[in-house]
Amino acid sequence: MTRMMAIEAAVHVLEKEGVSVCFGVPGAAINPFYAALQRNGRIGHVLARHVEGASHMAEGYTRATAGNIGVCVGTSGPAGTDMITGLYSASADSIPILCITGQAPRARLHKEDFQAVDISSIAKPVAKWAVTVLEPGQVPYAFQQAFHFMRSGRPGPVLIDLPIDVQMAEIEFDPDTYQPLPVYKPAATRSQVEKALAMLNEAKRPLLVAGGGIINADASPALVEFAETIGVPVIPTLMGWGTIPDDHPLMAGMVGLQTAHRYGNAAMLASDFVLGIGNRWANRHTGSVDVYTKGRKFVHVDIEPTQIGRVFAPDLGIVSDAGAALALFVEVAKEWKAAGKLKDRSEWVATCQARKRSMLRKSDFDNVPIKPQRVYQEMNTAFGQDVCYVSTIGLSQIAGAQFLHVYKPRHWINCGQAGPLGWTLPAALGVCVADPKRKIVALSGDYDFQFLIEELAVGAQFKLPYIHVLVNNSYLGLIRQAQRAFQMDFQVQLSFENINAPEIGVYGVDHVAVAEGLGCKAIRVTDPDRIQEAFTQAQKWMGEFQVPVVVEIILERVTNIAMGTEINTITEFEETLDLPTEETATVLV
């Protein structure tokens, strides 16, 4: 056997488990890990400016490519507490990331030592597993268990906390014989799939709801094949957007109270059966259960047993990995199709296609200041079908989901449930690290952008070019819109007259100056007819300087974006386009 420090064994495990890069911030209690990382020399490291930023970089890295597990690293005390938001975001969306923290020596844990906090207890509610390792000999096997947990069943994040004396103690460990533990994922049975397909076959107007579990399972091609085999329209959730291309004839639109299409909600309300795969019936998707479920039957397929029946009890529940279930659904569906057992759904599909062509929202506004809808129209034109969008929360994300188009899985990178402000920028950097050749466009409102704006320096330092579209109305726009129900507009205005930038009027922060001060390039747009020019310039600068490029677009201060309290009562604040289907080809959305 080979003797080595416990932390060196941990780094060997990281390498054996496929880790090639970490995101983090060094500090006293985690320095032994950094020393082992340096000695190893085969695992890269991206130095964040904030440990929360590092955790979101790890999320973006995981979400970008199937099989990735992002790793973020920090010292003891506040570094761990900074990671909690990243753990929560990852846990909420079933995203595996590994958070590694340093800790005070074991003998000092109960003595209120400097920066000593019981981080594993703090992290447990938002992690799949959180542990402070107290025995050096357990260190490599704690890491082995962490990867087993993150990959098995419903994916999720893990935190490993390491006292400094545990890291530095010598142990016996043989990296040459190390093997990752087998991954466990439940799989549907043939009888379950046949029962679900029989229920679908009895329906007149069935739909498939495609959730983020399909993307986690890397099963989007199987979802499309299944939908095409049975001829049934697909409703992707916000986390499942991209499982089927937006221009596919069976893509029926998204459903929900905010991030939804008019035609998607109409399709759901007209349906009589829903087969949900890898989704969790999120409340922004469903609205009230009574409205969402009325008049239709449900089958729910999910990898996590306790998700079945959590929001409402389906008519049939199947505990299965989405990929395993879809493989069997495709197999059975093809057999039934060959035998002539599947119903012809062409009339139902044609109805959904007609809605998709006609139930639109206006986007070709010429207003100055710019209306946000025009921005997304221009983004569709400029960036094409290969673009990967990264976004978090706010009116920018909601309007983006209503107007943008996504054509590939993992090309809408979004924290669906937690929605922490500041997430977009570091997550986009994580996506850049995972896939340097991908065309990445991040989308933020001004407040989201300001939360972790310092991470732009990371993009400059490590040459991580992407475009950051910053739609600036100098407001907490979503909260302002929500405050309308309380007849107030209170503490949500970000506007002020910047004495150093009188040219921007009351829009306050000079984002162009800040971005340039952090080593990036930036351009400001005030005329809608100059947006394409700005995007072209941004792409040139990315190639020339290899840094993030911010395109700030000055919006009108107040725009209310379509949303409602139920999927059948969405308030449309702007003009809608209910067009004859033969005319819709001329409308840009």
Cα separation, 121 vs 159, whole angstroms: 10
Cα separation, 128 vs 145, whole angstroms: 11
Q: Are 402 and 391 within 8 A, CB to CB? A: no
Q: Is the dihedral of CA 39, 41, 42, 45 positive or negative?
A: positive
Locate all alpha helices (DSSP H) within 218-345, ordered by sequence: 220-230, 262-270, 283-286, 289-293, 322-338
Across the beta sheet with 412-414, the strand order is 412-414, 388-391, 440-445, 467-472, 549-554, 521-525
DSSP code at position 486: G
Q: Are 137 and 171 within 8 A, CB to CB? A: yes
Cα separation, 253 vs 567, whole angstroms: 13
Token pair 């096997």 is found at: 141
Q: Are 410 and 63 within 8 A, CB to CB? A: yes
Q: Is 580 exposed, middle or buried (0-12, 13-18, 19+ CB in 10 A)?
A: exposed
Pairing of the two strands 570-571 and 563-564: antiparallel
Q: Indicate the residue type of 536.
A: T
Pairing of the two strands 129-132 and 158-163: parallel
Number of H-type helices and E-type strands within the chain: 23, 23
Q: Is the dihedral of CA 25, 28, 34, 39 positive or negative?
A: positive
Specify the 3-state DSSP secondary structure of 507: strand
Cα atoms found within 13 Å of the Cα of residue 262, Cβ hemisphere only: 21
Cα separation, 397 vs 376, whole angstroms: 11
Cα separation, 98 vs 158, whole angstroms: 5
CA-based nearest residue to 97, from 125, 53, 57, 131:
57
Q: Indicate the residue type of 401.
A: A
Q: How far is CA 229 from the centre of its chain?
A: 29
CA-based nearest residue to 531, from 507, 549, 551, 561:
551
CA-based nearest residue to 67, from 140, 29, 110, 17:
17
Helix (H) or strand (E) holding 143: helix 139-151
Locate all alpha helices (DSSP H) within 392-486, ordered by sequence: 395-403, 424-434, 446-451, 456-461, 477-483
Supply the residues annotated as catalytic: 25, 51, 421, 476, 479
Cα separation, 175 vs 140, whole angstroms: 10
